[in-house]
Amino acid sequence: MKLSFPPVITFICLIAQFVLLSTIPIPIAINLVLGLLVLSSSLAIIIFSFMELNKFETTYVPDGDPEKLVKTGPFRYSRNPIYLGMLGILISVCFFSQSLSTFIVPVVFFFIIESTWIKHEEDKLVDKFNNEWDEYKASTRKWI
């Protein structure tokens, strides 16, 4: 068996982790690190999405009337980056709180937004942008 065989590498790395943990542990609240990472990423997605909408001079109001179909910036990767950022903020609270029960809230938020606002907005976009919307929808994921 080769030393470079992935299971062997994994086993060696596991041993190294346990050696480091027992000799020079550096405690860290990983939940805080994850919470801050998710929170900062989510806020960045929201801010960049608003900047992109502003650049194209179209509405960011959920019930507003869009002037242009924005397909650049964060909208290149997700049709709903602002909602994705909002979901991320809720998930970051789950990490900060260290409570499994708080994960119920982002799941509920996801289903509420999915079944109400996203459906409403997509119906409006298909009416206004027809073929352009169909192409965008086919090439870009709804969430991530």
Q: What is the pLDDT of residues 52-108, one digit of tens each?
A: 999 999 999 988 899 999 999 999 999 999 999 999 999 999 999 999 999 999 999
Surface-to-core class of residue 93, CB atoms within 10 Å of its CB (0-12 exposed, 13-18 middle, 19+ buried): middle
Residues in contact with 120: Cβ distance below 8 Å, sequence separation at least 6, in sequence order: 62, 63
Residue 51 reports pLDDT greater than 60: yes
**Whole-number Å distance between alpha carbons of 25 and 46:** 37
**Whole-number Å distance between alpha carbons of 78 and 113:** 15
